[in-house]
Amino acid sequence: MGLNNPRACHCTIIILPYYYSLEQVNTLREVQAMRRLSPHENILQLHEVLFDKRSGTLVLICELMDMNIYELIRGRRHYVEESTVRKFMYDLCKSLEHMHRNGIFHRDVKPENILIKHDTMLKLADFGSCRSVYSKQPYTEYISTRW
């Protein structure tokens, strides 16, 4: 989907600086994983990858979501409905199953990387730490965010 497309939808723009070539961009785990896993109803959709050679800036254009799970639960005075939690857990399991069937494991599943839209749609995001089951060991022992 191009940026000049009259049917363009609302999107999220993720800007990642300091890349040197298109080849380097195409070997990024995040870009490779998002391309390999799309389309899936519970994986954040990557619409386009743009690279500005002059500035070394990589731009990922993804679908727009409302918030992440952390934002949903932070400061709440009431519990999230059990049926909503059940659906979100089911959708999260479907996203992980899809990743694992495609030989990829996420390695950084946390509330900030689980996005929701309209309180009904859940999508897993942030594939920067993912690895292929076929990648060479050793795997990094500790990669997730410290609380």
pLDDT of 8: 58
The C-alpha atoms of residue 122 and residue 111 are separated, in whole angstroms, by 11
- Averages of pLDDT over runs of 10 residues in the chain (147 residues) are 58 79 76 91 93 86 94 90 95 97 93 94 92 71 55
pLDDT of 18: 75
Domain count, the chain: 1
Q: How far is CA 80 from the centre of its chain?
A: 23
pLDDT of 97: 97
Beta strands (DSSP E) in the chain are: 11-16, 46-52, 57-63, 67-68, 104-105, 114-117, 121-124, 131-132
CATH code of the domain covering residue 31: 1.10.510.10
Instruction: For residue 6, tell me if it sits in a domain.
Output: no
Q: How far is CA 82 from the centre of its chain?
A: 25
Determine the residue type at 79: Y
Instruction: For residue 35, tell me if it sits in a domain.
Output: yes
pLDDT of 142: 55
Given 52, 66, 91, 108, the catalytic residue = 108
Instruction: For residue 29, tell me if it sits in a domain.
Output: yes
* Domain housing 99: 11-132
Indicate if 91 belongs to the active site. no
